Amino acid sequence: MEFNKQLCASILGISMVVAHIVLLWYLWTVFGSVEAENKSVYVAEIATPLTGAFALTVVKWVIDTQGKITSKKTVGVTLVIILILLTFALYGALIYGPHQYQIGSWQPDDLNRFFVFVETGIGGMFGLLFNDMFDKE
């Protein structure tokens, strides 16, 4: 079973941009405001650079392709499964961490370390996939 690479990239790209816009809005609203109750939570600052890189990669690719699916290149089911697993792992982790903090299970340092781990670990894997998925073809 094979899937059109550009179509998969389009779905992944739209999903990542929307999720990261929502995530950054939430993080900056809850943890990044001047009135935030705890100034030692830096999750908004941790997430912003990687989010910016993801979004810029997708936007640049959309500009390059003009949003058209023109390639006949395909990807296998294994790559699609890995993309789905990483996407749900990232989204789940980015919901889980702030939830643990808000219910009082984690201290600010726990949340900060968790975000660094998630953004570098899973984000690094996404970086490798993005490098391949968002080419000009």
Note whether 76 and 2 are within 8 A (CB): yes
**pLDDT at residue 48, as a whole number:** 84
75: pLDDT strictly greater than 80 = yes
Give 11's contacts (C-beta < 8 A, 6+ positions apart): none
This prediction has a pTM of 0.78
**Tokens representing residue 75 in the block:** 């990807």
pLDDT (tens digit per residue) in 61-72: 889 889 888 889
